[in-house]
Amino acid sequence: MDHHDHHDDRPDLDHRILTALHARGAAPSVAAAARALSLAGEHGALWLAAGLAGAAVDRERRGAWLRGTALTAGAHLASMGVKRLVRRPRPGHVEPLVRTAGRHSFPSSHATSAAAAAVAFGALGAHVVHPLAAAMCLSRLVVGVHYPSDVAAGAALGAMTARLGARWMTGGRDHG
């Protein structure tokens, strides 16, 4: 297989995975859950609210929660910048179950902020964020507004952003 053939397979796999996961949205309960996650994750709202709640409840580590929230917001903003540079159109072969804030697909900003929150808040012991972040990422495929590669790139960007800021978040103590 030459290099050109390999490149042609990538969009195919992206399309096939998206089509298969989007089909799960045919079940009303799955569609409702995916829509709810999409709405909650718009502009990183769920994660920003979670970080502020953590800061309010965990007074001893308020600064770390606020810095983790800032990292999550920063990752989200970074994804929006990358989106404007790449300008990949959203999937056109499936009917979206939700409206989107923008026309561009790569990377998924929902996945970026979810992964950033999972890393940042997970470092503070909020491990419940991990499955919720994974569900958020999957929901973007179920609602049909991102390719798997958009979600993977967004999750990588978010996790990397939060990981790079981990020492700042914890006041210079690297917790792993």
In angstroms, the CA 176 to CA 170 distance is: 11
Residue 166: per-residue pLDDT:
81
Mean pLDDT throughout 25-43? 88
How far is CA 25 from each of CA 17, 102, 130, 132, 174, rounded to the nearest angstrom?
A: 13, 21, 22, 18, 40
Q: What is the pTM of this model?
A: 0.86
Residue 172: per-residue pLDDT:
62
Residue 173: per-residue pLDDT:
52
Q: What is the pLDDT of residues 86-124, one digit of tens each?
A: 999 888 888 888 888 788 899 999 999 999 999 999 999
Residue 7: per-residue pLDDT:
47
Using the predicted structure, report yes or no on whether residue 22 has a pLDDT greater than 70.
yes
Q: What is the pLDDT of residues 123-149, one digit of tens each?
A: 998 888 899 999 999 999 999 899 999
Q: What is the DSSP string of 117-137?
A: HHHHHHTTT-TTHHHHHHHHH
Residue 11: per-residue pLDDT:
56
Burial 93-111 (b: 16+ CB within 10 A, else e): ebebbbebeeebbbbbbbb
